[in-house]
Amino acid sequence: MIRAKRNQQKAAKDKMDKLKPGQRVQTIGGIVGVITQVNEREVTVKVDENNNVKIKFVRGAIHKTLDDEKTEKTETK
């Protein structure tokens, strides 16, 4: 049970390390947007294309990448 939790934590850390501009992401609060800039502590996410609204989040606030979700669904079919 402890090993499974460690594996989940490692997978989550690996995913956060692989964040790059252009990826669609969802934050823990449910905000969806596209990453425009990444540095070691923060991620800048564009949430509105029309008004060019960008929000900065700490890396830990990113819940999941939505691009990966699409590829996983197509691979399992």
Q: What CATH number does residue 27 fall under?
A: 2.30.30
For 26-74, write each residue's pLDDT tens digit.
999 999 999 999 998 999 999 998 999 999 999 989 999 997 665 555 5
Q: Is 40 helix (H, G, I), strand (E, B) or coil?
A: coil
Closest CA to 63 of 17, 18, 31, 41: 31
Range of the domain at 25: 2-76
How far from 47 is each of 7, 15, 31, CA to CA, in Å?
A: 31, 21, 8
pLDDT at 12: 82
Q: Count the domains in the chain.
A: 1
Indicate the pTM of the whole model. Answer: 0.74
